[in-house]
Amino acid sequence: MDLVKELFNIKPECNTLVENRFKEFENLGKNGSEEDLFSELSFCVLTANWSAKGGIRAQKEIGNGFINLSEEKLIEALKSVGHRFPKARAKYIVSNRWIIGNLKALIKKDPFEAREYIVKNIKGISWKESSHFLRNCGISNLAILDKHIMRLMIKAGLLNELPKSGWSKKKYIEIEEKLRPISKKFEEPIGKLDLYMWFMAKKSVDK
């Protein structure tokens, strides 16, 4: 598959959707409160081994509960939206509340430093989820290496197979770098490229 050609083919169909979605991300990064940013961070914790649509539903229904519910109440709330791992995710979210008050400063840092800091210090977040959070705050130069994206990379001959174990920094960056030439040829930053590739895979532009 010629990935760049396919991307240009679908661009007219989804360009407006992608641009509008990315404006939402930029608005969150520029104007969102600490609580808004923590809600987005919690969304990214929830989507690990779950789904973006499930995370969006949970975020909408739980609202400020990510910030103020007890761990027990948060477990119940996550059960009510059908999360696969309500106990583990509630524990992570509650233990991450210390970062509230520091998120605005964090997303203004060098994106690669911010990503690594989040991976090292935030529970339930690996390289993909950290990249996801920062992209959803309007940072455009990080890749979100979801399995749907990597399956397209396999079809395009950029990858031989899906990684078999958890992410290391070296492995994540190695695969991320394979997308940068595609991003350059497609003339869109890698964070937007993800949205176009997601549309190719799922026919929607989620977050």
Q: Any idea what the CATH number is for the domain that residue 121 is in?
A: 1.10.340.30
Q: Out of 146, 192, 194, 207, which one is annotated catalytic? A: 146
CA neighbor of 37 nearest in space, from 139, 188, 120, 173 = 139
Q: How many residues are there in the chain? A: 207
Identify the DSSP state of 100.
T
Same domain, 71 and 18: no
Helix 169-186 crosses helix 147-155 at what angle (to 10 degrees)?
60
pLDDT band at 165 (very low <50, low <70, confident <90, very high): confident
Q: Count other C-beta atoms under 10 Å from residue 49's C-beta.
A: 10
Can you give the residue range of the structural domain that contains 9? 3-27+142-202
Q: Is the model's pTM score more than 0.85?
A: yes
Same domain, 16 and 68: no
Contact 168, 160 (CB under 8 A): no
- Which two tokens mark 25? 């991300």
| Within-domain flag for 11 | yes
Q: Out of 128, 192, 194, 207, which one is annotated catalytic? A: 128
Assess whether 110 carries a catalytic annotation.
no
Same domain, 152 and 107: no
Same domain, 122 and 36: yes
Count of structural domains within the chain:
2
| Within-domain flag for 171 | yes
Assess whether 128 carries a catalytic annotation.
yes
Q: What is the per-residue pLDDT across 80-103, written as a single tens digit (0 to 9) for each? A: 999 999 999 999 999 999 999 999
| Within-domain flag for 207 | no
